[in-house]
A and B are shown apart, each in its own frame.
Chain A
Amino acid sequence: MDFFLLQLVNGLSLGAIYGLIAVGYSMVYGTIGLVNFAHGDIVMLGGFISLIGFLLLAPLGISIVPLALGSVLLVTIALTGLFGWLVERLAYRPLRGAPRLASLISAIGVSIILQNSVLLSQGASVKRLQPLVSGAFAVTVPGPVHLTIGIVQILIVVTAAVVMAAFAYVIRTTALGRAHRAMLQDRTMAALLGVNVDRMTTASFVIGSGFAAVAGLMVTLYYGAIDFSAGFVIGIQGLIAAVLGGLGSPAGAMFGGILIGLADAFWSGYFGVAYRDAAVFGILILVLIFRPAGLLGRAEVERI
């Protein structure tokens, strides 16, 4: 029972990270119908930027943990958002209206560029960070082993919840959110009714990259390590979460992320980590066979 609860807690914190990544995929897919294969690498960039930020703070003498976390988070979001903006500008905007295959291939190219520019500039080794947020709560549950919940895990889940709540508020109430929902429903019609498609696309990339930045920072905090190829597998996991929840639906993405996080944690806990990724890919293929539109998504009707 304790072991089960432990995996549940692990799964929830992993799921929060996957969910944030999945929302980034969903944002972009919702606005321009592109699966942004470079999103995982944007997460990796966010992780690197936050790691550099933490290391910068030490000589500056900022040692209060909440202040350090907050300032690094802001800087990471800003710089990662800038990367997202640049990627959209250089690699996706010229392909508006081009065959879908062209944008997908361009996205793969961007992913390779980001990964390898970090490899060339920062080296191939795994970069480690001293645990910044340590400590854990001991929770007494009936049973022989006592359960501990790391403060990092609580922090991750709470931050993800706050970010998602803010995002839901923006989507529900602001003009930007209304435009986003309109584009999700019918891109052409939204454009005809005066939604600025270019600006909305840029916004979705910047917001999506902001989510990636938060997720990247969490990856750095949670695992205490990051390397140039980290974005690939974690990006696929996030993408699978987005597909599971239904591409284009932010709530579905968060839901899918938590499901994938739980599957990940329980599989690792009970069957070992060796085939964990294979298990998650297996879930994806099952979903694609039985519910291609995702668990929460609605099936798209093709119109001529």
Chain B
Amino acid sequence: MAAALRLIKSRALIDAAGAACIAALLAIPLLGLRLNETGRDAGLTYHLPWIAYAALAVFFARLGLSYLRPWTFAAPAASRLTGYAPSARLLHGSINLLAILFALGLPWFSFADDNFIDRATLILIYVMLATGLNIVVRRAGLLDLGYAAFFAIGAYADALLSQRFSLSFWECLPISGLLAAGFGLAIASPVIRARGEYLAIATLAFGEMVQTVLVNWIPITGGAKGIAAIPRPSFFALSGATRMNEVDLFYYLILAMVLLASAFVWRIGRLPLGRAWDALREDEIACRSLGLDTMAIKLSAFALGAGLAGFAGCVFAARQGLVSPGNFTFAQTAMVLTIVMLGMKNQLGISLSTIAIIGIPEWFPALTAYRMIAIGIVLVLAMVWRPDGVSTRRAPTMRLMRRVARPTVETEAQ
């Protein structure tokens, strides 16, 4: 009895009860009273038990959480910078190599029919997109909320150029990338000087502006219906020479582009420009005091990201054969942003999170309805658990070859 009283008095229980009350209140307009369409005007239907379900779910979830303290939503303490052992580097390298070999051999697996390869192609297109946004957000630390617009520019460039000027895919590809990069420069250069939020707001507005133009400029863009019958690329004599069908060749095309982009990004990350991106993200004032041209550095990252999105858009248009404004909404940007945030800053991580976010709903269509809400939850949780994941922490430039007395270095988060 006394033990029971103690339990009742325990803070965890009170806390959980409070949370349950709040959940019940908030569940009233979301779950308890639902609007339905009865004729022209909305009517109400009552689902009152749902309020109790929500309250109970939150009660037990909160109770469970409080027994898992101190893990619960406490702000993370000092971040720990651990040494990066050469063996880990070797391991990463071999995993990367295995992943590349797997991707190269994919069409030869028995389970990989044309449908499978086609979906794998879509996943690779998103890997390409994420590679571009990774540079902008995680290397340079700029938030681009209109990323889908550059994807759209690439896709519509391919669609329009191939239909109106009958350019081939191979001619459209470089034009798409350059055009998207040019738009990136044009939109970013006026606002990149201002504070970080303004770039996010301006790109968000730019994304919506492009969406408005795509929907309304019907003579050129076809409006909401979009542009259909975009020719697929011709692979000249390759198809006959290698006895591969067109789907496989298309897969190898985007795979080659992704590998090329990855190699380029990996290489440029180790050149002065890549170092400057990292430095700028960490401390802009210090960079300026060292004489770096911060505007040019930011613009280069932004334009490079936009350009990669343009290439991805061109391939996307050729794969779908149809582009419409619905393919390039803010939801696309949010998806790519989530891939990047889950991607652990490396190409393998990006590929795996693309498979999770784009691939899983492709193979399990029933989950598609829950994809966006899952993306929202993942974005919030990723930030709450690892807020420093957006900055700091990179592979050390130099490392000691012998073990030293103190293998880990702890730094205080400022």
Interface residues of A (CB under 8 A from B): 35, 45, 48-49, 51-52, 55-56, 79, 82-83, 86, 90-91, 94-106, 108-123, 125, 127-130, 232-233, 236, 239-240, 243, 247, 274-275, 277-278, 281-282, 284-285, 288-289, 292, 300, 302, 304
* Chain A residue contacts of B190, Cβ below 8 A: 285, 288-289
Interface residues of B (CB under 8 A from A): 22, 25-26, 28-31, 33-37, 40-44, 73-75, 137, 141, 143, 145, 187, 190-191, 193-198, 200-202, 204-206, 208-209, 212-213, 216, 285, 330, 334, 337, 341, 369-370, 372-373, 375-380, 382-384, 387-391
* Chain B residue contacts of A97, Cβ below 8 A: 75
Q: Give complex CA distance A240, B200 in Å.
A: 12
User: B141–A101 contact, CB under 8 A?
Assistant: yes
If over half of A's interface residues share one DSSP class (helix, strand or loop), that class is named, otherwise mixed; here it is helix
Please give me the residue from chain B that is nearest to A87 by CB atom: B380
If over half of B's interface residues share one DSSP class (helix, strand or loop), that class is named, otherwise mixed; here it is helix
Please give me the residue from chain A that is nearest to B142 by CB atom: A101
Q: Give complex CA distance A90, B380 in Å.
A: 9
Decide yes or no: A106 and B384 within 8 Å by CB, A101-B137, A288-B190, A300-B195 being known contacts.
yes
User: B200–A86 contact, CB under 8 A?
Assistant: no
Within the complex, the shortest CB–CB distance from A120 to chain B, in Å, comes to 7
User: B201–A52 contact, CB under 8 A?
Assistant: no
The A/B interface has a contact count, at CB < 8 Å, of 194
Decide yes or no: A120 and B369 within 8 Å by CB, A52-B29, A113-B376 being known contacts.
yes
A55 touches which one: B26, B44, B330 (CB < 8 A)? Answer: B44
Q: Give complex CA distance A123, B388 in Å.
A: 36
* Chain A residue contacts of B379, Cβ below 8 A: 105-106, 108-109, 112
Sample of 30 A–B contacts (CB below 8 Å): A35-B197, A35-B200, A49-B29, A55-B43, A56-B44, A86-B22, A91-B380, A94-B73, A94-B387, A97-B75, A98-B388, A101-B196, A102-B387, A104-B143, A105-B337, A105-B383, A109-B378, A112-B379, A113-B373, A120-B369, A127-B42, A232-B330, A239-B201, A278-B209, A281-B205, A282-B209, A285-B191, A292-B195, A292-B198, A300-B195
User: B375–A112 contact, CB under 8 A?
Assistant: yes
* Chain A residue contacts of B36, Cβ below 8 A: 123
Decide yes or no: A101 and B30 within 8 Å by CB, A128-B42, A278-B213, A288-B202 being known contacts.
no
A130 touches which one: B30, B41, B341 (CB < 8 A)? Answer: B41
User: B34–A110 contact, CB under 8 A?
Assistant: no
Q: Give complex CA distance A105, B377 in Å.
A: 11
B390 touches which one: A101, A119, A292 (CB < 8 A)? Answer: A101
Decide yes or no: A123 and B202 within 8 Å by CB, A106-B379, A110-B376, A113-B380 being known contacts.
no
User: A95–B22 contact, CB under 8 A?
Assistant: no
User: A109–B377 contact, CB under 8 A?
Assistant: yes
User: A116–B73 contact, CB under 8 A?
Assistant: no
Q: Lowest 4 CB-CB distances: which A-B pairs, in order?
A: A109-B379, A98-B387, A112-B376, A113-B376
User: B388–A99 contact, CB under 8 A?
Assistant: yes
User: B194–A288 contact, CB under 8 A?
Assistant: yes
* Chain A residue contacts of B390, Cβ below 8 A: 99, 101-102, 105
User: A102–B42 contact, CB under 8 A?
Assistant: no
User: A129–B208 contact, CB under 8 A?
Assistant: no
Within the complex, the shortest CB–CB distance from B107 to chain A, in Å, comes to 35
Q: Give complex CA distance A99, B383 in Å.
A: 10
Q: Give complex CA distance A110, B193 in Å.
A: 28
* Chain A residue contacts of B29, Cβ below 8 A: 45, 48-49, 52, 79
Within the complex, the shortest CB–CB distance from A16 to chain B, in Å, comes to 22
